[in-house]
């Protein structure tokens, strides 16, 4: 999309002839203008790049297996695919990621957008004639209400994506189909556009928010504008949706009905439901079922990147030894990552990575990372260096009785034992494992009741600035190690403001180096998602997707 630019043409002097001509044109325009302009505006409104496949067949029921037991129904307040999985087909966003590649940002309810050259104003031009499922017209007021809520949630409403819009100041409705976001400070365009295109930021009706006091947690079926409409839902079993015949993107969706089954991630239930043909498409399969699916004729099984890091935390304020960056780096180097990935290979698919998503273009390239200490297959040089660092820090004899809090999930239980052995063997660090339920883990982590801890943390965007703020930020919500490093925080602030990609990449690499030497957490590995589908399902191939939170609408999918 073209950004708006200011034209600076020199003005000719006003003569009597030019004045009369201008007056004539002006009066004519006054009489005919609105109609002409309206027609021009309508002509300008471009269709969505997501079009029905000309070879595609209409109709049928897509049976989709995914975790579908949301704790509540408020997509904005959620951070789990339990919501996005079943609910996203009923909603649209302002802009979106193209379902063909999962990367390119394309129009959605906004058919066009302009960004001021200084990056301080985002103007969205909204589609006309779009209706919510309850028949109400979609207008800029709905966008304003949605984003006011996301940017500045009312008390008792917690929206994980709020920090992405920290620099959004006024949200101004210019006219019913045009809205401006005025920023207090500019942010890199990929960052802001990524935030607007996030699948979480569905547009809801202003009235839905008003009627429910701004809280949709217990409102199951609030109207959206999306390609599918709610039909019925059975808690923790199935959510059934039907084609929205009045969908603004004509010709879509291709399938008549969606049956979204609650089948938990990595579970044998999901695997068996898929392998026995009870669902057509399975998301987040366990590796064993996924391997079996790969061998099945007529099935496609792929793995793709996910926005989750499996992280090991070290409580800096509580433990003097762990406050020493050398000790943390030693622990970082003592982790045999390729082995840790292998340990859980039958439980969840993982990949080795550093402090930034290893598949992000700004992160250290894989080939370079593989040569770096701590990431190599041969762990001996890294362990040698780790021992040297421990000695230098005054802990040559290791550490004893460290409380290692483990989140009670299969992957973490397996890793905890492996990490315990690695730390003991390589650095003589003795740990006491304490396996706790997820809710207890977060309680303990927030209260600082641990020396070492392991869990997964997520990000809303792949952009490094999001990680630098949420995972490594001074008050970052996932900074359970309570790590601070003023030099890093300054650099992160610069990265957040830097608009030039090349300079930004260099700064990100510098930040990575800082994190390598003073680790706020230890990236054990990065999760991958394993999907499988029967080849009768067309139009969805997530191989190049980033995570499972952006391309989640099923509007272009068809069944043969």
Partner 1 sequence: MQKYLVRRALFALGTLVGVSIVIFVVLRVLPGDPLVAILGVEGHSRMTPADRVRIMADLGLSAPLPVQYARWISDISAGQLGKSFFRGDTVAELIAHRGPISAEIGILALVISWVVGLPVGILSAFKPNSIPDGLARALSVFFIAVPNFWMGMLIVLGLLFWFGYKAPILVVQVWQDPWQNFQIVIGPALVLGLAQGAYIARMSRSCLLEVIGEDFVRTARAKGLRERFVVMRHALPNAMLPVITISGVLLGFVLGGSVAVEQAFGVPGLGRALVTAVIERDIIVVQNLVLLYALIFVAVNVLVDLSYAWLDPRIRFG
Nearer to partner 1, 59 or 277 (CB): 277
With contacts defined by CB under 8 A, name the span among 33-41, 123-131, 451-459, 534-542 that binds partner 1. Answer: 451-459
C-alpha distances (whole Å) from 172 to each of 66, 132, 159 are: 38, 22, 21
From candidates 46, 184, 232, 437, binder to partner 1 by CB under 8 A: 437
Window 42 to 101, contacts with partner 1 (CB under 8 A)? 69-73, 77-80
Query: Which tokens is 334 given?
Result: 């003592």
Window 266 to 305, contacts with partner 1 (CB under 8 A)? 268-269, 272-273, 275-278
163 binds partner 1 (CB under 8 A): yes
Query: Could you tell me if residue 59 is left (phi over 0), alpha (psi between -120 and 50 degrees) or otherwise beta?
Result: left
Nearer to partner 1, 52 or 153 (CB): 153
116 binds partner 1 (CB under 8 A): no
From candidates 238, 282, 303, 532, binder to partner 1 by CB under 8 A: 238
Angle, helix 380-392 to helix 410-427, in steps of 10 degrees: 70
Nearer to partner 1, 191 or 471 (CB): 471
457 binds partner 1 (CB under 8 A): yes
Residue 281 CB, nearest approach to partner 1 (Å): 14
Main-chain phi, psi angles of 89, to 5 degrees: -65, -10
Q: What is the CB neighbour count within 10 angstroms for residue 182?
A: 15
443 binds partner 1 (CB under 8 A): yes
261 binds partner 1 (CB under 8 A): yes
From candidates 39, 57, 58, 236, binder to partner 1 by CB under 8 A: 236
232 binds partner 1 (CB under 8 A): no
Render the burial of 92-112: b for 16+ CB within 10 Å, e for the rest.
bbbbbbbbbebeebbbbbbbb
Half-sphere exposure of 373 (CA within 13 A, CB side): 17
From candidates 100, 131, 182, 217, binder to partner 1 by CB under 8 A: 217
Half-sphere exposure of 505 (CA within 13 A, CB side): 8
Q: Are 285 and 303 in contact (CB under 8 A)?
A: no
Window 384 to 413, contacts with partner 1 (CB under 8 A)? none
Window 117 to 156, contacts with partner 1 (CB under 8 A)? 155-156
Residues contacting partner 1: total by CB under 8 A: 50
Q: Distance between CA atoms of 551 and 425, rounded to whole angstroms?
A: 44
Counting other chains too, the contacts that 420-426 makes at CB distance below 8 Å and 24 or more residues apart are: 422/334, 422/335, 422/336, 423/331, 423/334, 426/334, 426/383, 426/386, 426/387
372 binds partner 1 (CB under 8 A): no
C-alpha distances (whole Å) from 455 to each of 265, 283, 437, 452 are: 16, 21, 11, 10
From candidates 152, 446, 487, 501, binder to partner 1 by CB under 8 A: 446
Question: Concatenated DSSP letters for 434-447?
Answer: EEE-HHHHHHHHHH
166 binds partner 1 (CB under 8 A): no
520 binds partner 1 (CB under 8 A): no
With contacts defined by CB under 8 A, name the span among 34-42, 342-350, 430-438, 537-545 that binds partner 1. Answer: 430-438
Query: Which tokens is 166 given?
Result: 């920290």
From candidates 439, 535, 543, 560, binder to partner 1 by CB under 8 A: 439
Distance from CA of residue 96 to its chain's centroid?
12
| Window 466-505: contact mask with partner 1 (x via CB under 8 A) | -----------xx---------------------------
Binding site for partner 1 (CB under 8 A): 69-73, 77-80, 155-160, 162-163, 217-218, 220, 234-238, 261, 263, 268-269, 272-273, 275-278, 436-440, 442-444, 446, 456-458, 460, 477-478
């Amino acid at each position: 999309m073209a950004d708006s630019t200011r034209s600076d043409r020199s003005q000719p002097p006003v003569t009597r002839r030019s004045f009369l001509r201008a007056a004539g044109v002006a009066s004519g325009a006054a009489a005919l203008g609105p109609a002409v302009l309206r027609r021009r505006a309508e002509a300008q409104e471009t269709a969505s790049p997501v079009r029905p496949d000309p070879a595609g067949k209409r109709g049928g029921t897509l049976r989709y297996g995914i975790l579908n037991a949301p704790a509540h129904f408020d997509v904005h307040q959620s951070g789990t695919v339990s919501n996005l999985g079943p609910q996203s087909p009923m909603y649209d966003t302002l802009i979106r990621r193209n379902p063909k590649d999962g990367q390119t940002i394309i129009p959605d309810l906004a058919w066009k957008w302009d960004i001021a050259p200084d990056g301080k104003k985002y103007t969205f031009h909204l589609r006309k004639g779009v209706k919510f499922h309850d028949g109400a017209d979609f207008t800029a007021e709905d966008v304003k209400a949605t984003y006011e809520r996301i940017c500045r949630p009312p008390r008792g409403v917690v929206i994980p994506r709020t920090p992405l819009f920290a620099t959004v100041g006024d949200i101004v409705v210019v006219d019913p189909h045009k809205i401006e976001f005025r920023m207090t400070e500019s942010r890199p365009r990929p960052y802001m556009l990524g935030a607007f295109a996030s699948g979480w930021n569905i547009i809801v009706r202003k009235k839905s928010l008003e009627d429910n006091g701004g809280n949709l947690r217990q409102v199951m079926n609030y109207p959206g504008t999306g390609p599918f409409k709610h039909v019925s839902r059975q808690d923790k079993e199935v959510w059934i949706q039907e084609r929205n015949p009045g969908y603004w993107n004509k010709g879509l969706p291709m399938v008549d009905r969606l049956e979204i089954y609650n089948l938990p991630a990595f579970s044998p239930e999901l695997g068996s439901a898929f392998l026995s043909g009870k669902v057509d498409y399975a998301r987040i399969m366990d590796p064993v079922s996924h391997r079996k699916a790969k061998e099945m004729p007529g099935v496609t099984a792929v793995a793709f990147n996910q926005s989750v890091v499996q992280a090991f935390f070290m409580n800096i304020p509580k433990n003097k030894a762990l406050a020493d960056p050398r000790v943390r780096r030693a622990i970082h180097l003592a982790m045999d990552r390729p082995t840790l990935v292998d340990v859980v290979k039958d439980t969840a698919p993982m990949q080795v990575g550093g402090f930034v998503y290893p598949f992000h273009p700004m992160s250290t390239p894989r080939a370079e990372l593989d040569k770096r200490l701590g990431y190599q297959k041969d762990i001996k040089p890294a362990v040698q260096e780790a021992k040297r660092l421990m000695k230098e820090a005054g802990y040559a004899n290791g550490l004893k009785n460290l409380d290692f809090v483990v989140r009670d999930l299969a992957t973490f239980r397996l890793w905890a034992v492996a990490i315990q052995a690695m730390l003991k063997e390589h650095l003589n660090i003795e740990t006491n494992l304490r396996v706790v339920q997820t809710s207890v883990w977060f309680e303990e982590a927030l209260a600082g009741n641990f020396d070492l801890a392991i869990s997964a943390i997520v990000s809303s965007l792949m952009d490094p600035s999001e990680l630098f703020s949420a995972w490594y930020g001074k008050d970052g919500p996932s900074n359970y190690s309570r790590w601070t490093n003023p030099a890093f925080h300054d650099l992160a602030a610069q990265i957040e403001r830097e608009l030039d990609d090349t300079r930004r990449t260099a700064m990100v690499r510098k930040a990575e180096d800082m994190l390598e030497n003073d680790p706020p957490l230890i990236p054990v590995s990065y999760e991958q998602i394993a999907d499988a589908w029967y080849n009768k399902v067309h139009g969805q191939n997530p191989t190049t997707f980033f995570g499972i939170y952006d391309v989640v609408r099923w509007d272009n999918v068809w069944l043969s």
